[in-house]
């Protein structure tokens, strides 16, 4: 969903599409396909599946994107890429629940990055 460097790219659709959704989402999709021979519309799946993930036009989009913009800035400013701490906004999780954790839950940053960005 983002490519850091110069220039840096941050993709809004990538925020919904790139990180994997909760496992239950794919299971439900597969099960419905076996029963009805058809996959349910995405909106239905998104309503039925528990676990947090971002969908198109999610009201949390802007807040989540801020972290990805900051990652691009952070890379240019320090040369360091993603943070290994899962709860930090500079982390780069591969699954949607991780994105929610990193971008939308407290604390915003790990201790090291809090020092730099929470002033």
Tell me how far, at minimum, the Cβ of 82 lies from Zn ion, in Å: 9
Tell me how far, at minimum, the Cβ of 112 lies from Zn ion, in Å: 6
Is residue 87 a contact partner of residue 105, using CB atoms and an 8 Å limit?
yes
Nearest by Cα to 98 from 69, 67, 119: 67
In whole angstroms, give the CA distance from residue 119 to residue 114: 8
Residue written as token pair 């029963």: 35
Which of 4/90 has CB closer to Zn ion? 90
Which of 49/91 has CB closer to Zn ion? 91
Which of 61/85 has CB closer to Zn ion? 85
Note the Cα 47 to chain centre separation in Å. 18
Tell me how far, at minimum, the Cβ of 86 lies from Zn ion, in Å: 9
Which of 21/113 has CB closer to Zn ion? 113
Tell me how far, at minimum, the Cβ of 83 lies from Zn ion, in Å: 3
Residues that bind Zn ion in the complex, under the rule CB under 5 A: 83, 85, 88, 90, 110, 113
**3-state SS, residue 49:** coil
């Amino acid at each position: 969903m983002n490519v850091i460097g110069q220039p840096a790219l941050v993709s809004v659709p990538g925020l919904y599409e790139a990180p994997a959704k909760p496992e239950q989402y794919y299971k439900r999709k597969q099960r419905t396909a076996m029963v009805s021979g058809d996959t349910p519309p995405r909106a239905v799946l998104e309503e039925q599946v528990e676990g947090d993930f971002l969908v198109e036009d999610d009201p949390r989009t802007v807040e989540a994107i801020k972290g990805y913009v900051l990652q691009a800035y952070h890379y240019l400013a320090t040369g360091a890429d993603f943070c290994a701490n899962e709860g930090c906004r500079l982390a780069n999780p591969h699954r949607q629940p991780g994105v929610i954790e990193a971008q939308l839950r407290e604390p915003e940053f790990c201790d090291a990055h809090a020092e730099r960005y929470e002033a």
